[in-house]
Amino acid sequence: MKLTAIIEKSDDGWYVGQLEEIPAVLSQGKTIKELKENLLDALNLLFEANREETSSNYTNKIVVREQLTA
């Protein structure tokens, strides 16, 4: 899966951005490289929070979990 970072340089010199495909993922960095690393960290945090929230909906239920690769 490939994601697109939308990046802009703020007036104070920091780079700020978000993921085009997942707009809830936002971050900043002193360099574009740092911003991209921070966006991936934010994405992983979002996924982890979503996993925890979703898992709580299936407590005491028999489910099948399948991994998908995009």
Q: Would the pLDDT of 10 be above 90?
A: yes
Question: What percentage of the chain reaches a pLDDT higher than 70?
Answer: 100
What is the spatial distance between Cα 13 and Cα 16, in angstroms, rounded to a whole number? 9
Enter the tokens of residue 2: 């490939």
- Percentage of the chain modeled with pLDDT above 90: 96
Global pTM?
A: 0.87
The pLDDT of residue 70 is 81
For 29-58, write each residue's pLDDT tens digit.
Answer: 999 999 999 999 999 999 999 999 999 999
